[in-house]
Structure 1
Amino acid sequence: MSSPVETFTTYKHSIELQKNVADLWWTVDDNEREITFELHINTTGWIALGINLAGGMKGTDIGVGWVDQRGSVYFQDRYAFAKERPMLDNTTIDWFALQGREVSGWTAIQFKRLLDTCDLMDVPIKSGTNKLIFAYGLTDPIPSGPNGEISYHENQHGSRALSLRSYTDSLSEDTFAGLDYFDFRLNNYVVPSTEMTSHCKIYKAPSNYSVKQHAIGYKMIIDSANQDLVHHLLIYECDPTAQFDDNNLPDDLCNEIYLQTAPCAYNGAIIWDVGGNDIVAFPEEAGYPIGGDFLIKYYMVQIHYNNPYQLSNRTDSSGIRFYIGKELRQHDLGYLTLGTTSTPHALAIPPKMERFIIDSYCPATATMGGERAEDEMCRHVMKYYPRMNNMYDCLMMNSPQIWNSMMNTSSSSFNDSKLMEWLLNLTWTSEQAVQWQEFYNIASRVLLYGASSNLQFKFMSGLPKYQDLKPVACTKDQTINQTTSSQTTTMNESISYTSRIRQNIMIILI
């Protein structure tokens, strides 16, 4: 942590939001259904923390505070309807300052709010990943009182994705002290000044391990200066039959070398995304195999950069470090990817849907023996043991037959491009969006499972029936002390059914 200011109390979790700029501590009280934060930012002006469901400014619930020259603490509940100055919450005040101070040019404020306030101008803090933004000004609002207006933050802002209610504090690197390790890292790669970049590089397994070893953990090495650009990082195991020139391993934009890297593009292993743990230790009884007679000899690291401001002259050396245990463990560890394919066949969600369910099913028979920042992806990568070398993926998509029926086309003319074009030429009403959900609920599926060298396909006319849990209604039966003072302000059945839906969908084709 960078802040020189001592915290007001002890917290369960903490994170450095931006080195030498912003630190955050927090504790969740599930009994009281509230969360207490302490935010430190290197400024003597106003500071702010916001919570958003999708990231960005629009729809952000924000707490803004500052300490004036007399030491008085002011705090405001604000909401951003668009990418503009957030307005004061005109419903109920649900962010509350507890105490604050300015020390050595830093502002520190402790504040709290309910996890779910039942307020339309507040964002509930739910289980899973929460999108946080922080911002600050160089001066206090004018006037410096309860109704003070904040200045524009310019470039003084940042964001992080965190699981506030189930956060696991990163392990200390000391956990692996004294162990051998190896890195798969870029070397001063010049990040293109384009909005989205996917860079792929092939690495050969370390040659110094003549006998199989077990990695017992890893560390994601994300350049601190590029935390705003590195969106996610994936490690793939290349097919055991893959062959490369060890003196000229592929290293370029992914779409430029996709033919060369094809043997490495399917067998996913480790994945890291913004907000994920930087340091991970594997279970004591399992280790990730490397070297010796282990089948995998090459790996691909794919790093996705999200550069919305198209910044230039940025170099990056991000990657991953594996720590080698001193002895083999009982089991080899493997990775299994569950969910859907990242294609329109699987993910075609109507716009502006607050809730849309896409089911994915992986039967026991399978497991026995787009990727831009703004694209939809629905996958979960989990580690397991004992490892199965013929099993990496268990993914679903809607069957081509069901799409042919919906589009009223023949199977010979169906392809990805036509599906995408058809989808983009649809316009939507709320009623048609509901019918689209019904289509997905009964649609026939294709299951893809196995490994890249032996991928299996299975047609499924439908999915097992189960009842979705209904969202829990918010009940505001608890309150936080709302003190106001000078210091605080406060998817044959499916085909016939599809025909009926198609008749309605055709009405909305442009």
Structure 2
Amino acid sequence: MSAFAYPPHKYSPDSYGLWDRSLVLDDLGHYKVQWTASSTDIQFRLTVRTRGYIGFGLSSKSRMDGADIVVGWVHSGKAYLQDRHGLGNLEPAVDRFQDWTIVSGYENDTHTVLHVSRPLNTCDPHNDHAITNDTSRVLWAYHPDDPVDPDSPRPRLHYHGDFRRGTRSVFLLDRDPGVEYGHSGDAYGQNSAYPSESSKDKKPEESEIHTWTLNSPGVEVKADMATVYWCKLFRKPLLVQKNHIIKFEPIFSAGNERHVHHILVSECTSDDPAVVASLEQLADSSGGQCYSQDMSPLLRACSHVVVAWAVGSKGLTLPPETGYPLSPNGPTIFLMQVHYDNPDSRHFQDHSGIRVHYTHKLRNFDAGVLSVGLDPNWKHLIPPGQASVLSSGHCVSECTSKAIPPAGRLRITHLLGREVRLRHLRQGVELDPIAQDLNYDYSYLEYRLMKQPRTVLPGDHLISECKYSSVERSAITLGGINTRDEMCLSYLYYWPRSSLSLCHSKPSLNTVLQSLGIEELSQ
């Protein structure tokens, strides 16, 4: 029997209690998924604005072919469910083994709601998708009508059309790093990296939380600009005492979300009076392109990253034990760098940026941000036409001068990235990776919160490792800042804060020349 029918089940929206994660999958808000995972299985609640069938799939790729798909509907008061798998763009085939289970389901005048579950690993590598810590692609679809012959073992599905389907990349086993304080009834800190027993008592009152908004000043991106890096300097808010940054999230100009690839906010400090004067002067301007003649020399004074956001992320709420320090006597000028990606040659203006939340109710530890990996420059070479190319950037033992337990991490590569890993070595012995994603998605760079604290000791060696596929490239890809270039960087939030904020390596010129078969340079 391929279809499972269950009697009607009436329940309130909250009858299943709290869900760990929730996501609206479509732009119209018609398809919402909530889920909770245990060590052995995962449960989903699908709430869709339809009285027809619902399709939901999991895959390592953003397409139906080979995807693990479940289809459900409610007909004559009974909930039905079928485990299927994708066959190209054809109707998904019914699986021999039905590994998805329907817990309950119902429909009302406008919506269909299904509560379904399945094991994390069904041991069916041909038709099912194993759910791991790697990025999963969630496929969704729905139709206003039930399948043809909805009571039969193999009902036929109506084609959902082009506008009732889509895909999203998701970390299914992670907690939400950007959760609001008290969101969905959570105790404060529940979705932070390491919630403590007393975290609920540490929740700042709303009157104790202030916001600092950093916006782009109407940056004009013209149709002939494929990549733009815009830098704008800001003065920090007026402070009378030390504060902690406890949270941040991106803000977008409507319609420009797809063009903003990443945003960095950094402290600016210098012992050179001329550099300080230039920073003060530029803080009153609308900024400029980061690597222009005016801006480029100042970037070295603004290398200590405070906020790192990238496409796909909702932001970050720091653990209740720690906050990033913002002090009256600290740096007064901050640099916001926004990377715009414009592959469709659109002409637009942008006011996107970052909203920072800070409080004078201090946490126990000051947090820091550490960038580990390959310095993004032309010496990073990726040959064309290769199915797999491995690049590594090192933070060597001489640089890890303080113990730094990472709290969350964000990995950045560009278009060719397929796998990323942050390796950890101690006294010549390799430990478990600090971070790893064997199914990386360039367009989904959400923060990953560690399930257990990790400590980096003095003398430890960190390696940011990226695997690329250049099969579709006919020329060498160079390292660099443009989207068609490549990079391999990991950003880690950690505590307690140290002076180390950037730990990169790069190939020597001799190594690059040897790899290109060049034995001698002449002038």
TM-score (norm 2): 0.63
Q: Deviations over 1:126-145 (max 9, x none)?
A: 11433323232333333545
Structure 1 segment 325-336 matched on structure 2, within 5 A? 325-327=359-361, 331-336=365-370
Distance 1:190 1:70 in 2: 55
2:269 maps to amino acid = P
Preserved contact between residue 374 and residue 488 of structure 2 (Cα < 8 Å):
yes
Preserved contact between residue 202 and residue 299 of structure 1 (Cα < 8 Å):
yes
Aligned length: 399
Q: Which residue of 1 aligns with 2:85?
A: 78
Distance 1:86 1:316, change over 3 A: farther
Q: Which residue of 2 aligns with 1:22?
A: 31
Distance 2:82 2:118 in 1: 12
Structure 1 segment 92-107 matched on structure 2, within 5 A? 92-107=97-112
3-state SS in 1 of match to 2:163: coil
Instruction: Indicate whether 1:298 and 2:334 are aligned.
Output: yes
Preserved contact between residue 79 and residue 89 of structure 1 (Cα < 8 Å):
no
Match of 2:212 among 170, 175, 182: 182
1:383 maps to amino acid = Y
Match of 2:230 among 176, 180, 200: 200
3-state SS in 1 of match to 2:211: strand
Shift of 1:15: 1.2
Q: Which residue of 1 aligns with 2:140?
A: 134
Q: Which residue of 1 aligns with 2:398?
A: 365
Preserved contact between residue 184 and residue 203 of structure 1 (Cα < 8 Å):
no
Shift of 1:278: 3.4
Distance 2:372 2:142 in 1: 40
Preserved contact between residue 270 and residue 381 of structure 1 (Cα < 8 Å):
no
Preserved contact between residue 374 and residue 394 of structure 2 (Cα < 8 Å):
no
2:34 maps to amino acid = W
3-state SS in 1 of match to 2:395: coil
Distance 1:50 1:260 in 2: 47
Q: Which residue of 2 aligns with 1:156?
A: 164
Q: Which residue of 2 aligns with 1:447?
A: none
1:272 maps to amino acid = W
Preserved contact between residue 24 and residue 39 of structure 1 (Cα < 8 Å):
yes
Q: Deviations over 1:136-185 (max 9, x none)?
A: 23333335453322414312344433321232464334655112221113
Percent identity of equivalent pairs:
20
Match of 2:354 among 302, 320, 324: 320
Shift of 1:45: 2.7
TM-score (norm 1): 0.65
Distance 1:295 1:312, change over 3 A: closer
1:340 maps to amino acid = L
Distance 1:328 1:98, change over 3 A: closer
Q: Deviations over 1:453-490 (max 9, x none)?
A: xxxxxxxxxxxxxxxxxxxxxxxxxxxxxxxxxxxxxx
Distance 1:330 1:122, change over 3 A: closer
Shift of 1:125: 0.9
Q: Which residue of 2 aligns with 1:409?
A: 518
Q: Deviations over 1:84-113 (max 9, x none)?
A: 345325564433333322123111112222
Distance 1:41 1:274, change over 3 A: farther
- Structure 1 unaligned runs (5+)? 415-510
Preserved contact between residue 64 and residue 78 of structure 1 (Cα < 8 Å):
no
Q: Which residue of 2 aligns with 1:449?
A: none
Match of 2:45 among 38, 45, 49: 38
Distance 1:148 1:11 in 2: 35
- Structure 2 unaligned runs (5+)? 1-10, 183-202, 403-412, 416-441, 444-482
Q: Which residue of 1 aligns with 2:495?
A: 385
2:180 maps to amino acid = S
Match of 1:338 among 354, 361, 372: 372
3-state SS in 2 of match to 1:364: coil
Q: Which residue of 1 aligns with 2:3?
A: none
Distance 1:151 1:164 in 2: 27
3-state SS in 2 of match to 1:147: coil
Shift of 1:352: 7.5
Q: Which residue of 1 aligns with 2:298?
A: 263
Distance 1:320 1:359, change over 3 A: same
Preserved contact between residue 67 and residue 107 of structure 1 (Cα < 8 Å):
yes
Distance 2:299 2:91 in 1: 46
3-state SS in 1 of match to 2:86: strand
Q: Which residue of 1 aligns with 2:155?
A: 147
Instruction: Indicate whether 1:63 and 2:70 are aligned.
Output: yes
Distance 1:64 1:151 in 2: 13
Distance 1:52 1:334, change over 3 A: same
Distance 1:195 1:25 in 2: 39
Q: Which residue of 2 aligns with 1:233?
A: 262
* RMSD (Å), alpha carbons: 4.0
Distance 2:67 2:521 in 1: 47
Instruction: Indicate whether 1:218 and 2:247 are aligned.
Output: yes
3-state SS in 1 of match to 2:521: helix
Distance 1:401 1:270 in 2: 35
Structure 1 segment 457-476 matched on structure 2, within 5 A? none
